[in-house]
Structure 1
Amino acid sequence: MSIRLRALAAAAAALATLVGVQIAHAADDPPHAAYQEMHADCTVNHMLSDDPIVFPGQAGASHNHTFIGNPATNASSTPQSLVGGATSCEDSLDASGYWFPTLFQDGVALTPDKPVVYYKSGVKDYRTVQPFPAGFKLLVGDARNMDPAAFAGNWKCPGYTGATFPASCPDGSSLVVRLQAPSCWDGVHLDSADHKSYMAYPVKGVCPADHPVPLPMLETKIPYPMHNGNTAGLTLASGPAYTFHYDFMNGWDPARQAYLVDYCIHGGRQCNGYGVDPKKP
Structure 2
Amino acid sequence: MGRNTRKRRTPLATKIVAGAAALAVGGGGLVWANFYASAHEDHGGHNRTRSAGAQVATIDCPDVGQKIRDVPDRARGEVDGELATMDSQITNAYQRLATTRRAQAGDSQFVQNTILGPLKDRRKAIIDRIQLEINRAGGKADDNLDELAGCQGRPADQQNGGGQNGGGQDQEGNDDNGNGVAGPVAEDFVDINDVRPNSRDSRNGLAADGDGGSTGSFTTDCGVNENNLFNSDNLIAAPGVDNGAHHTHDYVGNQDNDAFSSDEDLANADTSCQNQGDKSTYYWPVLRLQDGTQEFDANDQGGGAEGNIGKILKPAEAQIRFVGSRQGDVVAMPKFLRVITGDAKSFTNGDANANSSWSCSGFEDRQVTDKYPLCPEGSQVLRTVNFQSCWDGQNIDSANHRDHMAFVQEDGSCANGFQAVPQLQIRLAYDIPAPTVENGQVRNPYAVDSFPEQLHKPITDHNDFINVMDENLMNEVVDCINRGEDCQ
1:172 paired to 2:378: yes
Residue 88 of structure 1: how far off its partner (Å): 1.1
Residue 123 of structure 1: how far off its partner (Å): 3.5
Q: What is the distance in 1 between the residues matched to 2:241 and 2:421?
A: 29
Aligned pairs (5 A) from 1:186-197 = 186-197=392-403
Aligned with residue 426 of structure 2, among 220, 230, 235:
220
Residue 34 of structure 1: how far off its partner (Å): 9.2
Instruction: Provide the residue aligned with 1:37 in structure 2.
Output: 217
Asked if the contact 1:118–1:218 (Cα under 8 Å) also holds between the matched residues in 2, the reply is yes
Instruction: Provide the residue aligned with 2:252 in structure 1.
Output: 68
- Secondary structure of the 2:237 match is coil
Aligned with residue 331 of structure 2, among 104, 109, 130:
130
* Gap runs ≥5 in structure 2: 1-209, 291-309, 437-443, 451-455
- Residues 55 and 223 (structure 1), Cα distance of their counterparts in 2 relative to 1, 3 Å cut: same
**2:289 is aligned with what amino acid?**
Q
Instruction: Provide the residue aligned with 2:232 in structure 1.
Output: 49
CA RMSD of aligned residues (A): 2.3
Residue 257 of structure 1: how far off its partner (Å): 1.4
Q: What is the distance in 2 between the residues matched to 1:95 and 1:240?
A: 31
Higher normalized strand content (fraction of residues):
1
1:210 paired to 2:427: no
**2:244 is aligned with what amino acid?**
A
- Residues 138 and 149 (structure 1), Cα distance of their counterparts in 2 relative to 1, 3 Å cut: closer
Instruction: Provide the residue aligned with 2:285 in structure 1.
Output: 101
Instruction: Provide the residue aligned with 2:6 in structure 1.
Output: none
Residue 218 of structure 1: how far off its partner (Å): 1.1
Q: What is the distance in 1 between the residues matched to 2:424 and 2:447?
A: 24
Identity within the alignment, %: 29
Q: What is the distance in 2 between the residues matched to 1:167 and 1:243?
A: 15
- Residues 78 and 39 (structure 1), Cα distance of their counterparts in 2 relative to 1, 3 Å cut: farther
Asked if the contact 2:341–2:355 (Cα under 8 Å) also holds between the matched residues in 1, the reply is no
- Secondary structure of the 1:219 match is strand
**1:59 is aligned with what amino acid?**
D
**1:240 is aligned with what amino acid?**
K
- Residues 197 and 84 (structure 1), Cα distance of their counterparts in 2 relative to 1, 3 Å cut: same
1:259 paired to 2:472: no
- Secondary structure of the 2:475 match is helix
Instruction: Provide the residue aligned with 1:181 in structure 2.
Output: 387
**1:142 is aligned with what amino acid?**
D
Aligned with residue 145 of structure 1, among 342, 346, 350:
346
Q: What is the distance in 2 between the residues matched to 1:178 and 1:31?
A: 21
Aligned with residue 405 of structure 2, among 183, 199, 220:
199
| TM-score, normalised with respect to structure 2 | 0.46
Q: What is the distance in 1 between the residues matched to 2:421 and 2:448?
A: 29
Aligned with residue 115 of structure 1, among 307, 314, 318:
318
* Gap runs ≥5 in structure 1: 1-29, 276-281
Asked if the contact 1:123–1:202 (Cα under 8 Å) also holds between the matched residues in 2, the reply is no
- Secondary structure of the 1:242 match is helix
Q: What is the distance in 2 between the residues matched to 1:132 and 1:81?
A: 19
- Residues 149 and 32 (structure 1), Cα distance of their counterparts in 2 relative to 1, 3 Å cut: closer
Q: What is the distance in 2 between the residues matched to 1:166 and 1:237?
A: 13
- Residues 81 and 224 (structure 1), Cα distance of their counterparts in 2 relative to 1, 3 Å cut: same
Higher relative contact order (CA closer than 8 Å, sequence separation 6+): 1
Asked if the contact 2:214–2:481 (Cα under 8 Å) also holds between the matched residues in 1, the reply is no
Q: What is the distance in 1 between the residues matched to 2:373 and 2:266?
A: 40
Q: What is the distance in 2 between the residues matched to 1:167 and 1:249?
A: 29
| TM-score, normalised with respect to structure 1 | 0.77
- Residues 142 and 166 (structure 1), Cα distance of their counterparts in 2 relative to 1, 3 Å cut: closer
Instruction: Provide the residue aligned with 2:448 in structure 1.
Output: 236
